[in-house]
Each structure stands twice: as C-alpha cells, then as structure tokens.
Chains A and B, each alone.
Chain A
Amino acid sequence: MKQKRQKTWTPYAMVLPAFAVMMLVVVLPIINTILQSFKTADGTFTMANYQYFFTSKEAFQSLIFTAIEAFSTMILAIIFSFLLALYLRFSKSKISKLIGRLYLLPRFIPGIVAVYAVMNIIKDSGFINRFLQLFGIVYKPGLLYDIKGIILCNLWFNIPFSAMLLSAALSAVADSYVESARDAGCSYWKIFQKIIWPLVYKDVIVAATFILMGQIGAFTIPYLTGPNNPKMLGILLYQQVNTYLDYQKAAALSVLMFLLCLGGAVVYIKSNMKEEVWEKGR
C-alpha cells in the first residue's frame, strides 16, 4: 500500500520544479497581463486599451504588414525547404551529402549575428552594391529597411529549420516504398501524392505553425532590417513599453497577439495529438 502511494506522488514531485518555474515565471505574468489590459493606469476597469487598437490605423496596418510578412515567409520557407529536404533524402550524390552536413548550422547561429551578416550583404552600400560596381553597374538593392529584407533574413533561418523537420519526416519514407511504386508504374507526382505527402504533412504543419507563430512576436529581425512604418506587431509592442511606457496598452496588445498565436498553437497541438492516438494503436 505504501509502495503504491509513493508511486502516485513520485511523478508529481519530479515534475513540480520545472512546472512551478513555468507557472511562476510565465503563466503568472501572463495572467497579470490579461488583468492589466482591462485597466486604466489608476486601476479602474476599462475596454479603452482594446478599443484603441481596434480603431488605430497604425495597429491595423501593423497587423496587415505582419500577416503579409508571416505568410510570405511561411510559404517561401516551406516550398524551398521541402525541395531541399526531398533532394537531401533522394539524392545520393556527394553534393547532397555535403549540403546535408552544412544546412543544420544556420539554426544554431546566434540570430543577431546572422542578421548582421545578411545586412552587410544586402544594404545599399553592402556587398551586392560594391560587387556590381566592379562591372560598372550602380545598383541599390533597396532590400534593407523593407519587408523584403525581413523576409530574406527570416528565410535564412527558417529554410534550414523547416528542412530539418521535413528531412527527419522524410527518413520515414523507405526507399522500398518508392521503388515498388515506380515498378508498378506510378508517376513521380503520384508517388509524392500517395506515399510521401501522407507521411510528412504533419511535419509540414508543425514547421508552418512554428514559423507563423514566430513571426507574430518577432523582434530582432524586423527591428534591425524592417521599415519604420508600417512596423511589425513585435516592434509596435516594444514601442508601447519602451517609448510610451504605456503598460496597459502594451498588455492589451500582448493579449491580442496571444490570441493570434493561439490559433497556430491549436492547429499544432491537434496535428500532434492525432499522431499520439496512432502511436497508441501500435
């Protein structure tokens, strides 16, 4: 009996430290934020903080700007990384092996370092501009301080990230599946549709949701490479805190951004839960 008792509380005791840190350092502040967002500076209840963002033209522009940026990044990153992952999985050449070794590094390069490195290439007085001058071409790329700059930097991080997830998923596609389908006369498109896609689409969803959720709160990349106006939501939030010192409005904006991310999180959790049910059946 004592043995059994011990068994029931052991897992809770083991989980407690990590869970408590998460609750106290993250969840408690978030609850506080939600409460703050409904208050004025002197503590009375108000909806004004939310009204401000729903009626503010600047906030609306930021939302649209963030959405365009996030979806462009997501779509481009998924397409390129899918092609890269397919190549890495099905080509057995030396080049493929070499790229297979090199593509994981960007995921671990400190974000700000990589952004800085890319900035030095794409800015108007950067490497591209200088290089083309050798041939007498005066070309200002106009990429920096523009949405294109943000997307480009994000692709630098997100293509390797999503290629990593997708190639892990593609390793579940055995050569024999593809070969036997080829023998039976399937076209490459049919093989992709019937064999590869069903095995990897969950990971495509995981990659896509992580990329999207990352963009909603993104700060470093748009702060350094984005335009002043319109700005991404992460920058707008930073300004509310650092420039205007308006914590209540910042809280309301945080809550709105949480809600946007919640959509992504639900999709992510749902696509993962399905997998678990499937695993149980094994």
Chain B
Amino acid sequence: MKRLYYGLGKRKFAEWILLAVFVLFFYGPLFNMLTLSFAGKYEYPDVIPQTYGLKWWDYILSKGQMLESITTSLLLAVVVTVISLLICLPAAYAIARYQFKGRSFVRLSFLLTNAFPKMGIYTAMAVIFYKLNLIGTFTGVVLVHVVNTMMFMVWIPSGAFRTVHIQQEESARDAGASALQVFFKITMPMAWPGIVVASLYTFLGSMEEAQGSLLIGLPNIHTMPSELYGIIMSFPDTAGAVFAVILLIPSVLLLIVFRKYLSAEALSSGFKM
C-alpha cells in the first residue's frame, strides 16, 4: 500500500481509490448477481459459488409464466414506445415551434406524473380503470406506462426541434416539399438524437415499471418486474439472480447500441423545461 502510494503519487493514488470505490459500489452488486446466476452449488458461508452451471437458467426458463412475462414486457415496451412517439412528437413539435395561448401550461402538465407520488397517481388511476374495466388489461398497463414517461417524450424532442432552424424548414418548403416531407426529411433527422434519447427513456421506463403494472395489470398481465417481486420474496437468491439478469439484458444492450447519443447533456434535458 505504502509503495503504491509513493509510486503513483498522491493524486494518482487518490484517483485509483476513487475508481475502486466507484466500481465496487455501483458495479459490485451487479457483478455479484451475475456470478450468482451461474451458480451451481452456493451455500451459506460461500463468498462465491463452489460450482458453476446453468442449473438456475434451466429452472427459470422452464417456468411458463416467467417466459410469458418476458414476452409481455418486451411487447409492452415496444407498443408503449410507438404509441408514445405517435402522440408526443406532434405535441413536442407544436410546443417548440408555435406560440399559442396555454403553451406553458400544456408543457408543464407533463411534469405531473413525475412530480407527484407515483403510488398516489396509480391508486387514483386504479379506481377509474376499475369502472372502465381496464384493470388487468394490456391497454390499461400501456396507458400507465405511456403517461409515466410522457415528460421525457415531450420535453426532450421539443428541445431538439427548437435547435432546428426554421429557415431550414422554410427553404425546403420553398423548394416544393410538403409539410410532412419537410418533417420527415429535414426536421426529424436533425432532431434524431433527442428522439432516440426520449425513446430510450420510454422503452426502458416501460421495461422497469413495477408498481403500476402491479396495481393495474394484475391478475392477468404479468410483466418481468412484477414477477420479480414474487421471485425475490419466495425463490432462492440464485433463481432470482437469473431472472434479474434477464431483465437487465435489454437495458445493457440498448445502452451499448445507442451509447453515442447518451451524453449527460442529452439525458438531463428531460428534467428541465
């Protein structure tokens, strides 16, 4: 330790300590979980499993209801993202481009689901959804997920549309392009990074949403996070680890694929009006 300290110099040494603490705190738990998911024999005082294997993967993948929840979750995330794009992008564009009465109010209204206690909003929804026979339906859960991430879907693309100069749109119009052509050929490609980030928020938000799916979706709709609640409570750690790792895969894949769009600036634009 002493040798390291003098060898690296005070500053470098401190940086390495910081890196170690950072990695241990944020990635240690995930790495531990990944190890557990491939455990064979793992008994109480073992720090790491004694033997490894795919035993628990077979176990989880042989359960019909769990497999079903994986398909449900993925399908849900896709449907939610598409619907969200369809209804939110026009709103985002209007907020970015037009000055109209009530603009700030409309923009602010999307803060609602993120500023107020989720549990309160979900129970409020559950009461109404019950009357409308939306409890336990796919549509009901889609609605919950859509409103959950609307703030990102409106605010981030809206910021992105604002950076596209109106002159660029106008010159395309002058050259004879229709309004829709202008949007898809000029505006959308330029606002693309913002739209990608917003879609990621929506897709991953839908993948991880647990409380709303639990309250609105049960007993018919089982998503992966709502299944995981039960698994954590009543299954061995190793089985839970497998299922948690499966739930992790889409997030990690998407983040790697879209990593060039993910800067702190782009991501935090969703939290500012």
Contacts and interface: CB of A to CB of B under 8 A. Distances in A.
A68 interface: no
Interface in B194-237: 200, 204, 207-208, 210-211, 215, 224-225, 228-229, 232, 237
B128 A15 contact: no
A17 B90 contact: yes
A210 interface: yes
Interface in B249-270: 251-252, 254-255, 262-265, 267-269
B79 interface: no
Interface string A1-24: 000000110111011011101110
B6 interface: no
Can you list the 8 inter-chain pairs with the closest CB atoms, starting with the nearest? A217-B117, A110-B208, A254-B120, A117-B29, A29-B124, A11-B98, A14-B94, A18-B91
Contact of A15 (B30, B86, B95): B95
B120 A217 contact: yes
Nearest to B25: A156
Contact of B106 (A19, A96, A105): A19
B117 A21 contact: no
Interface stretch (B14-22, B52-60, B170-178): B14-22
Interface stretch (A46-54, A191-199, A268-276): A268-276
B121 A120 contact: no
Query: Interface majority SS on A: helix, strand, loop or mixed?
Result: helix
B271 interface: yes
Given A112-B228, A127-B32, A234-B117, 7 more contacts: A12-B100, A18-B88, A26-B121, A109-B30, A112-B244, A254-B120, A265-B111
Contact of A95 (B16, B28, B100): B16
Contacts of A67: none
23 contacts: A10-B94, A11-B94, A11-B103, A15-B95, A17-B86, A17-B87, A26-B147, A87-B18, A95-B19, A98-B19, A103-B26, A108-B204, A108-B251, A110-B208, A116-B241, A120-B29, A121-B32, A125-B44, A156-B25, A165-B264, A224-B232, A254-B117, A254-B123
A108 B18 contact: no
B135 interface: no
A133 interface: yes
A222 B97 CA distance: 42
Contacts of B125: 25-26, 29
Contacts of A134: 47
Contact of B247 (A113, A169, A217, A269): A113
B237 A107 contact: no
Contacts of A234: 117-119
B91 A167 contact: no
Interface of A: 7-8, 10-12, 14-15, 17-19, 21-23, 25-30, 32-33, 36, 87, 91, 93, 95-96, 98-99, 102-114, 116-121, 125, 127, 130-131, 133-134, 156, 160, 163-165, 167-169, 171, 203, 206, 210, 213, 216-217, 219-220, 224, 233-234, 237-238, 241, 247, 250-251, 253-255, 257-258, 261, 264-265, 268-269, 272, 275-276
B185 to A, nearest CB: 19
A25 B273 contact: no
Given A18-B87, A116-B244, A238 B119 contact: yes
B90 A15 contact: yes
A87 B18 CA distance: 10
Given A111-B208, A224-B232, A241-B123, A28 B271 contact: no
B247 A237 contact: no
Nearest to A202: B272
A258 B117 contact: yes
A213 B118 CA distance: 10
Given A11-B100, A130-B46, A156-B25, A29 B121 contact: yes
A95 B273 contact: no
A145 B65 CA distance: 29
Contacts of B271: 165, 206, 210
Nearest to B98: A11
Contacts of A269: 108, 111, 273
A24 to B, nearest CB: 9
Nearest to B224: A110
Contact of B119 (A28, A127, A217): A217
